[in-house]
Structure 1
Amino acid sequence: MTDEYSSTELLTTVASKLIDDGSSVMVGTGMPMLTALLAQQTHAPDATLIYEAGGIGAQAPALPVSVGDERTFHRGIAATGMHDVMSYGQAGHIDCGFLGGAQIDRYGNLNSTVIGPQESPAVRFPGSGGANDIGSWAADTIIVIRQREESFVEELDFRTTPGYLDGPGAREEAGLPRDTGPSRVITQYGVYRFDEETKEMTLQSLHPGVDVEVINEQSGFEIQIPDEYGHNPQPTDEELRILREEIDPRGIIR
């Protein structure tokens, strides 16, 4: 083991372990690409990586800079388009999607649209892209986000992507598919899950060297902390070698 790693490298290695071999994974730009490529080169060689612009089953020779990069089609099983990819998802063929955002609430709803009132926002982001679609119909959604009090909020400035909406039963009442929704949130402090009964964010495991007190110090809402929770391993030397030498040698995302 090594103690020399960045928080991004830690988040990437923890998140990659949540990708099952043989699963179909919707991959977004940035850290989700690092995560998916690391899983593909380690424990999940038969995971099918699906990119929003239409690349399916690619084996990227180097880190793509976006979901539309030509490397997202390299040695793939299909070069389709956004319409086909979203249709496959709507039909229930996506096992897992990775998402991020500017804000998240206790139920896993995400904002990637605006900070402040929509009519005159302090900050305007690119918007949903495919995030609303993925959060609506993917069998499982994993959220990777930097945690601070300003991003973990009691009330979103704008709800771009549904988590569990207002709590238990709300997704189904809104017409979203049953047995879907976010399962994990990964931050620089640890991994969270959603309580089966309340659908509220709950600590699952801490990263190395993190004190449990920081979890709620850096959140605008109360994160449930059970009596027992796990601890995540450090990145291995081999995982760091693959990230640094094979996937992202220029440190574009790392």
Structure 2
Amino acid sequence: MSAATIPEIITIALAKSFADHEVGFTGLVTGAAAMLYGTSIPLAAMMFAKLTHAPNLTILLAGWSHNPDLASLAALPDQEFDSTLLDLPCEAQTVRYPGQFSFKRGHVDFGFSSGVQLDVTGSLNSVVIGDHARPKVRLVGPILQPEHMTIFRREYVMLPHHTARVLVEKVDYVSGVGYPGGLAGRAALGIPEGGPEWVVTPECIFDFDKEAGRIRLRSIHREERRGELAGVTGFALPDLEDAPATPEPTAEELDLLRRVVDPRGLLLGRAPEH
């Protein structure tokens, strides 16, 4: 069996952080790289968890397709009510609010989001680059990030690119709030729980010292990239030398991922092995 790819390494790491009976939410994003990190990897990770240690985990795709049959997908949907998604076999479809699960009632345990900037506090930006009044670039907008980062119990920020322009000391605009001032700072903003749990990039996984309100390096996907990581990150990495490697999947885990979770190679971007 060929070695695990970076998306496969990330998928298994994510899956092991989910618990049985949790509810996970992911939406639909556009663009190949953004789709891979914002939709496909989360879906594969949740399905892997359901097939292993979390059989009662609920997958909410686009918020309304409950536990879809991902293995039957011939193409990835790129719109929330795309016919591909409407016709996808699933346990249930909820198209009226609030439905069985309501994020405003605290029913969602974890979600996935992305943006063009993330800073040392874990705050996310998908609104503007530059000053809000006279922006250099106007972006897609907050796209439910305020809710993801405040109402969901925890958030996984999925970044398809790891550069110093994406990972910055301070975002130009806060569309999803992290830990400014730590947990006490969130409490002062009237946010008693939630917030980013991990930040996942093609290079590494970050987590947070939530009391201090500071991002920290959790693991690095490839050891040979350790020496280059500081140069592509827009803030200091004091824990760079001590961060462990992201665990490699076992042969059994890879077999389940490739043969059952993603048999067509559609989610994680590889052709199935024969």
Quickly name the TM-score band, shorter chain normalised.
Answer: 0.7 to 0.9
- The whole-number CA distance in structure 1 between the counterparts of 2:23 and 2:224 is 32
How far off is 1:205 after superposition? 2.1
Corresponding position: 1:184 with 2:194: no
How far off is 1:200 after superposition? 0.2
State whether residues 180 and 213 of structure 2, in contact with CA within 8 Å, keep that contact through their aligned partners in structure 1: no
**Match for 1:65: what amino acid?**
P
Partner of 2:176: 161
Corresponding position: 1:150 with 2:165: yes
Please list, as runs of the form range in 1=range in 2, the aligned pairs for 1:11-160 lying within 5 A after superposition.
11-29=10-28, 30=39, 31-63=41-73, 64-66=76-78, 67-69=80-82, 70=85, 74-81=89-96, 83-84=97-98, 88-119=102-133, 121-145=135-159, 146-160=161-175
- Higher mean alpha-carbon deviation, 192-201 vs 100-109, is at 192-201
Number of residues of Structure 1 aligned to a counterpart in Structure 2: 251
SS in 1 for 2:54: coil
- Name the % identity: 25
Please list, as runs of the form range in 1=range in 2, the aligned pairs for 1:155-234 lying within 5 A after superposition.
155-176=170-191, 178-225=192-239, 228-234=242-248
RMSD: 3.0
SS in 2 for 1:216: helix
State whether residues 191 and 203 of structure 1, in contact with CA within 8 Å, keep that contact through their aligned partners in structure 2: yes
- The whole-number CA distance in structure 2 between the counterparts of 1:11 and 1:93 is 25
Say if 1:225 and 1:25 are closer, same or farther in 2 by CA, change over 3 A.
same
Q: Structure 1 stretches (4+) deviating beyond 6 angstroms?
A: none
Partner of 2:262: 247
**Match for 1:22: what amino acid?**
H
- Structure 1: gaps spanning 5 or more residues: none
- The whole-number CA distance in structure 2 between the counterparts of 1:111 and 1:48 is 28
How far off is 1:42 after superposition? 3.5
1:103-151: CA deviation from partner (whole Å, max 9, x where unpaired): 1000111112233344554544322222221111111111121321110
- The whole-number CA distance in structure 2 between the counterparts of 1:62 and 1:165 is 43
- Structure 2: gaps spanning 5 or more residues: 29-38, 270-274
State whether residues 58 and 72 of structure 1, in contact with CA within 8 Å, keep that contact through their aligned partners in structure 2: no
How far off is 1:50 after superposition? 1.6
SS in 2 for 1:45: coil
